[in-house]
Amino acid sequence: MLRKARDWVVFILVYVPLLSSQSMRVDAESHEWWQHAVFYEIYPRSFADSNGDGIGDLKGITSKLDYLKALGVDAIWITPCFPSPQVDFGYDVSDYENIDPMYGTLADFSDLEKEARKHGIRIILDFVVNHTSDQHKWFIDSRSSRAAPRRNWYIWRDGKETGEPPNNWVSIFGGSAWTWDSSTKQFYYHYFYPQQPDLNWRNPAVHDAMMDVSRWWYKRGVAGFRLDAVETLFEDPQLHDNPVLPGFNSFGDPKEEDKYNTKLPEVHEVLRDLRRVADESGAVLIGETWTNDVAELKQYYGEHSNELQMPMDLMFTKLQFSAASFREHIAVVDASGGWPVYVISNHDIVRSYNRYGDGQHNEAIAKILASLYLTLRGTPIMYYGEELGMENNDPVRKEDVKDPIGRLGWPKEKGRDGERTPMQWNDGPNGGFTAGTPWLPVPASYKTHNVESELKDPSSILNVYRRVLSLRHTNRALRDGNYMGLNQSDPNVLSYLRTYKNQAVLVVLNMSAQPQQVSFDLAPQGFTSQSAHTLMTTMTQKAGEAALTQMALEPFAVYIGSISR
Ligand code: NOJ
Ligand code: CA
> Does the beta carbon of 88 lie inside 6 Å of ligand 1?
yes
Sign of CA dihedral 223, 314, 352, 368: negative
Catalogue the active-site residues.
228, 280
For the stretch 325-358, what's the b/e string if a residue is b when 16 or more beta carbons lie within 10 angstroms of its beta carbon? ebbebbbebbeeebbbbbbbbbbebbbbbbbbbe
Q: Are 179 and 188 within 8 A, CB to CB? A: yes
Q: Whose CA is nearest to atom 5 of ligand 1?
A: 348
How far apart (Å, rounded) are the C-alpha atoms in residues 482 and 504? Answer: 9
Q: What is the pLDDT of residue 17?
A: 44
CA angle 524–525–527, rounded 5-degree value:
100
206, 199 Cβ separation under 8 angstroms? yes
pLDDT on residue 3 = 55
What is the SS3 assignment for 303-343? CCCCCCCEECEHHHHHCCCCHHHHHHHHHHHHHCCCCCEEE
Can you name the residues that pair with 486 across neighbouring β-strands?
495
The size of the chain, in residues, is 565
Enumerate residues 6+ apart whose C-beta is below 8 A from 253: 170, 174, 175
C-alpha 139 – ligand 2 centre gap (Å)? 28
pLDDT at 6: 57
Give the whole-angstrom CA distance, residue 341 versus residue 379.
5
Q: How far apart are CA 507 and CA 127, in angstroms?
A: 36
Which ligand 1 atom is at minimum distance from the Cα of 131?
11
Atom nearest to 128 CA in ligand 1: 11
Helices (H), 148-286: 204-218, 266-280
Q: Closest-lying ligand to the alpha carbon of 422? A: 2
- pLDDT recorded at residue 541: 75
Q: Which of 43, 124, 126, 192 to mutate to test the pocket of ligand 1 (most atoms within 8 A of CB)?
A: 192
DSSP 370-428: HHHHTSSSSEEEEETTGGGT------SSGGG--SHHHHHHTTT---SGGGSPPP--SSS
Residue owning the nearest CA to atom 4 of ligand 1 = 348
The ligand that comes nearest to the alpha carbon of residue 58 is 2
Q: Cα separation of 4 and 199, whole Å? A: 51
- Count of alpha carbons within 13 Å of 506, Cβ hemisphere only? 29
Instruction: Report residue 83 CA to chain centroid gap.
Output: 21
How many Cα atoms occupy the beta-carbon half-sphere of 464 within 13 Å?
27
Furthest-apart CA atoms within the chain: distance in Å: 81
Using alpha carbons, select from 179, 559, 121, 161 the residue that is nearest to residue 368. Answer: 559
Mutation to probe ligand 1, out of 45, 46, 89, 91 (largest number of atoms < 8 A from CB)? 91
- Rounded to the nearest angstrom, the distance between the alpha carbon of 53 and the centre of ligand 2 is 5
Chain centroid, CA 146 distance in Å: 38
Contact between 344 and 352 under an 8 Å Cβ cutoff? The reply is yes
Is residue 128 lining ligand 1, measured as CB closer than 6 Å? yes
DSSP3 helix / strand / coil % (the chain, rounded to 5):
35, 20, 50
Could you tell me if the CB of 129 is within 6 A of ligand 1? no
Distance 88 CA to ligand 1 centre (A): 7
What is the pTM for the complete model shown?
0.95
**Separation of alpha carbons 45 and 440, rounded Å:** 9
Distance in angstroms (rounded) separating the CA atoms of residues 166 and 88 = 25
Residue 100: nearest ligand to its CA?
2
DSSP secondary structure string, 258-316?
Answer: -TTTSS-THHHHHHHHHHHHHHHTT-EEEE----SSHHHHHHTT-TTS-S-SEE-BGGG
Q: Ligand 1 center to residue 91 CA distance, Å?
A: 6
**Positions of the chain with pLDDT lower than 70, given as ranges:** 1-25, 542
Q: Are 392 and 350 in contact (CB under 8 A)?
A: yes
Distance CA 393, CA 406 (A): 13
| Strands 224-228 and 122-128, sheet pairing | parallel
**What is the distance in A from the centroid of ligand 2 to the CA of 44?**
9
CA distances to 219, 369, 457, 537 from 464, rounded to whole Å, are: 37, 10, 10, 9
Rama region for 252: left / alpha / beta (φ>0; ψ in -120 to 50; rest):
left
Ligand 1 atom closest to Cα of residue 416: 5
Q: What is the pLDDT of residues 491-505, one digit of tens each?
A: 999 999 999 999 999
3-class SS of residue 10: helix
